[in-house]
Chains A and B, each alone.
Chain A
Amino acid sequence: MSVPQYRKAAALALVAGLGLSLAACSTKSDDAPNDASGKVTITVDCQPVGSQKELLKNWNDDVVEFQRQNPNIVIKSVSVGEQCNNPPDFTARLAGGTVTDVFYGYMTDLQQVLDSGQAMDITEFANKDTVPTWDSVDPALKEVFSDGGKLYAAPVKNYSMGLVYNKVLFQQAGLDVNSPPKTWVEVRDAAKKISALGKGIAGYSEYSAGNTGGWHFTSLLYSQGGQMLTADGKKADFNNATGKQVLQNLKDMRYGDKSMGDRQLLQWGDLLTNAGAGKVGMFIGAPDATQAIVSQFRGKFQDWAMAPLPGQDGAAKGTLGGGEGYFFKKGLSPEQVKAGLKWIAYQKLTPGKGQFDYVRAKPQNYPVGLPQPLLFANGSEAQKQELELRKANANVDTANFAIFEANPVPIKGEPRNAQAIYAVLDAAMSGVLTNPNANIDALLKTAEDKVNKLLAAES
């Protein structure tokens, strides 16, 4: 073959190869919803990652057992990382249409999922036939995942925030671990004493980046009796005395008392890393924050306890409640939706199975006994069963959460478009935590303007 012919052949081979590669890229998944044998296949995300060996084994065991009990259903698990919903990844999957058939999301994600056009109405499928404990699931949680009377997700976790505190640091600072602060004034006093221990310890620590600042601002505002949006949801409602009090408390602790440590602009993992290292006296969080401190940030369960969220002068007027659920991708067949609900029922909503398999979790040292996930309505049959199992298998000292459980604070849900609003409020939180001369009025006014623009654009 002459040189030019050889080149031509090579070029044609290159083009053919490229064409094949592109064709291969564009090939859709071969996961047909129903195969020839009549089996229904669904893809489900949030499978634990490989490094979480025991959790992954539990999940895989659950899949095997579920498929044994439901021979006509095939579960294909997909792992999307250690954090099932990292907002940027989640947004990319939604926008790219690559979410799994049944996909994990936060309660705050409903609006985004609806806007993406990926949400399927599952109202007619969610019932006792598919989820035997459905009538026991807290109706308020179903409401959070509903819009216009239609249900779009099955709730699988619910939490409320309180004051998480380090008992070891409390003792070292001469504070009573059985009498944690009840008001923000008491939090300030305790934080001063803890930070006086030195060694880079923050008496109280707070978020101000990655949307977590706005998330905690909301909870702190609720504790003051405030609300993020007006009743009609059309305007911001935090630029007032309650909002100012939230930021003033933080500014006073940060620069007046110098009890919040030097490192700010913290987001979720940053604060918990410091907490795991024994450098944080108090912070606000959900009960499972202690679980993360232990499992991901090398802390010890016995060091941590929890109290209700403090109020300004007395008990908190409210606390933030949030949670997670599983959405269903638009376009699934009724059989697939039913199969997905059955899987969620088995893995997430059945006492003694999946996430409630406390007998399995106890020897694995996954915490049993935390006052979470608060899925079932008070007095319901499922709640009774779950509480009994939890009590019988507790491997954490439930006394550490006794004060939190004995003093419930009214739970308020997250605002509409929560993640977008949280992103805006990060700036107000970072302002008072990094600038000793921060103008609280100006910070709140800027945040208010931004949120109002955001809401106007949504409506």
Chain B
Amino acid sequence: MAITTVPGTRREPGRPASPYPAGPQRTSLGRKVRDNLTGHAFLIGAVICFGFFSWYPMIRGVVMSFQRTRRGVTTWVGWDNYDRIIGDPSFWAAWKNTFYFTVLALVLGYAVPFFVAILLNEFRHAQGYLRILVYLPVMLPPASALFLFKFYGYDPSDAGLFNSILKALHLPTSQWMQSPEMTMPAMVIASTWMNMGGAVLIYLAALQNIPGELYEAAELDGAGIWRRIRNVTIPQTRLILALLAMLQIVATMQFFIEPLILANGTGAEDSATSVAYLIYQHGFFQNDLNGAAALGVIMLVVLAGFSAVYVRLSSKQD
């Protein structure tokens, strides 16, 4: 007897037969919803939350970036807000600072946690305590941590913590946040100290998944510690490294609290102004919510580019 199949109901190899009768009603929306009522019900909550708190504000931001509100009257102004924002001298300063911060944070904030994780991984005893120690700064509220740096670490007088250390070592002291050259490195140091705990734990988890035999084999082949790192550790954690790099880029490009607290905003001659802070300044200090929205959209587009890379990497990992 010939076997006939209804389109859409053909049984895939290894998949159990559907308990529902085949037929046109199988594809109706109502039926689909009823089939997965639990899933859809849970989905509604998430969709409402995302809708209200993420998607709607985003769409509203894009709309606002093409509008101007004056005297309570909102009008469409095309690209005017974008023209004005791009023409603001602080716009380019902010992007320059943001990229500079991102690169520095990538060099320092990316490499340091990786090597700290490798170091921690080598410890056979007290690893739990050390992990807590490394993670402690993450538990400190960021504002408190930054005030510590501001008032004690980066005090420009000789009484400042870092300056007294430099002085004790007979090295030149720094003006820290008051020096346009030192503003960015100082913010990256503080930011790295605050945030590296999380990255260290992720790296540590990845490191502990590397089979021990690989290291043993490498050792038998006469590989020293650097060769083991280069030929075993880095290739085995390559994907995690790449994903964290992308996440770090997206996160650090939105840095805000560092200039707000360490530099009281823009810092010396715009040396601390980040794109996120410039958005805040336009929106909350310059009576320019529409300009702030335009700058937000520009930032969204740039970050979307990096996020696209991240998504591609994620799918590769899958």
Contact = CB atoms under 8 A, between A and B. Distances in A.
A-B interaction = yes
Nearest to A262: B157
B269 A435 contact: yes
Interface string A9-32: 001101100100010000000000
Interface size class on chain A is 35 or more
A431 B266 CA distance: 11
B288 A420 contact: yes
Interface stretch (B174-182, B194-202, B236-244, B246-254): B174-182
A117 interface: yes
Contacts of A211: 285
Contacts of A450: 88-90
Contacts of A393: none
B284 interface: yes
Q: Give the 5 A-B residue pairs with the shortest CB-CB distance, closest first.
A: A117-B72, A11-B41, A209-B264, A434-B268, A420-B286
A209 B30 CA distance: 60
Contacts of B286: 419-420, 423, 454
A33 B180 CA distance: 54
B35 to A, nearest CB: 11
A55 interface: no
Given A117-B71, A265-B177, A427 B288 contact: no
B157 A431 contact: no
Contacts of A111: 287
B41 A15 contact: yes
B264 A267 contact: yes
A92 B267 CA distance: 24
A209 to B, nearest CB: 3
Contacts of B52: 22
A116 B281 CA distance: 17
Interface string B263-291: 11111111000000000110111111101
B24 interface: no
A225 interface: no
B73 A265 contact: no
Main secondary structure of the interface of A (DSSP, over half): helix
A176 interface: no
Contacts of A88: 280, 284-285
Interface in A24-75: none
Contacts of B289: 91, 95
Contacts of B265: 209-210, 426
B129 interface: no
19 contacts: A8-B38, A11-B42, A15-B45, A18-B44, A88-B284, A91-B285, A115-B70, A117-B72, A118-B72, A209-B264, A210-B264, A210-B265, A262-B157, A264-B178, A427-B269, A431-B269, A450-B89, A453-B88, A458-B70
B189 to A, nearest CB: 18
Nearest to B179: A434
**Which of B155, B268, B291 has the largest number of chain A CB atoms within 10 A?**
B268
Interface of B: 37-38, 41-42, 44-45, 48, 52, 69-73, 80, 84, 87-90, 155-157, 159, 175, 177-180, 263-270, 280-281, 283-289, 291
Nearest to A115: B70
B44 to A, nearest CB: 5
A434 B71 contact: no
Contacts of A128: none
Contacts of A264: 156, 178, 268
A264 B71 CA distance: 38
A430 B269 contact: yes
Nearest to B270: A427
Interface in A236-278: 262-267, 270
A235 B280 CA distance: 25
A115 B70 CA distance: 4
- Pick the most buried of B41, B155, B289: most chain A CB atoms within 10 A of its CB: B41
Residue among B44, B72, B175 having the largest count of chain A Cβ atoms under 10 Å: B72
A87 B283 CA distance: 10
Contacts of B42: 11, 14
A209 B268 CA distance: 9
Contacts of B45: 14-15, 18
Contact of A419 (B88, B266, B287): B287
Nearest to A90: B284
Contacts of A430: 266-269
B180 A434 contact: yes
Interface in A99-138: 111-112, 114-118
Contacts of B285: 87-88, 91, 211, 419-420, 423
B157 A12 contact: no
B79 to A, nearest CB: 13
A264 B80 CA distance: 36
